[in-house]
Amino acid sequence: MYIPVNAQESTKSSGQLLQQFHSFNTIHVLNGSSTTSLAINSVNGFQFNKLFAGLGVGFDYYYHTTIPLFLEGRFDLVKSKLQLFADGGLSFPFSSQNTKFETNSGPYKTAGMWGAGVDYLVTIGKDALILGAGFSNKQVIQMVDNNIWNPVLNRVENSPIKDQYSLNRIAIRIGWRF
């Protein structure tokens, strides 16, 4: 009795999964009403037909330095040439100093962030140069120290004030996909 066995079949399926893996690494020039600054992001995930889903992380230097952690979805408008993207997640504070209002002291809190846009991909072999534009919003929350005199207890007490900023920015993006 003869039973054919193909030992390579499982490696083909894992190889196919690796072919669907992509890493989008971009540098952004962010322009908003308060300033112009930079951000860098890396999004890693998997492509399934026209859809891509991945997890991203980076550094956002706009207004107050934060570390965004987000989910990103992409949709191919034109096969691997033009893609719509949208992302959303959390923005973690990176430093504790308020460089815009140095008299404001107090801790920063984690807040939300989101963005959307379009990327044009110039294919170079299996990789691609990314040129894109988008719009993003980053929330910045600081619990500003507010020391007030309490005459009943005869002492100064801190009653923090919540300063919350919603920062809208336009992003010009360039990067590399592998």
* CA separation for the pair 140, 87 (Å, rounded): 17
So what's the pLDDT on residue 80?
75
So what's the pLDDT on residue 83?
95
Is residue 152 within 8 Å of residue 116, measured between CB atoms?
Answer: no
Tell me how far CA of residue 53 lies from CA of 26, 58, 84, 93, in angstroms: 16, 17, 12, 25
User: What are 118's two structure tokens?
Assistant: 């379009």
Enclosing H/E stretch for 10: helix 9-20
So what's the pLDDT on residue 11?
47
Q: Which residues pair with 124 in a beta bridge?
A: 127
Low-confidence ranges of the chain (pLDDT < 50): 8, 10-12
User: What are 153's two structure tokens?
Assistant: 């207890």
So what's the pLDDT on residue 153?
84
So what's the pLDDT on residue 98?
55
Beta strands at 82-93 and 66-78: parallel, antiparallel or unpaired? antiparallel
So what's the pLDDT on residue 107?
80
Nearest to 113 by CA among 16, 41, 7, 50: 41
- What number of residues does the chain have? 178
Amino acid at 102: E
* CA separation for the pair 140, 14 (Å, rounded): 41
Nearest to 93 by CA among 27, 34, 142: 142
Does CATH place domain 22-99+112-134+169-177 in 2.40.160? yes
Q: Terminus-to-terminus CA distance in the chain, angstroms? A: 47
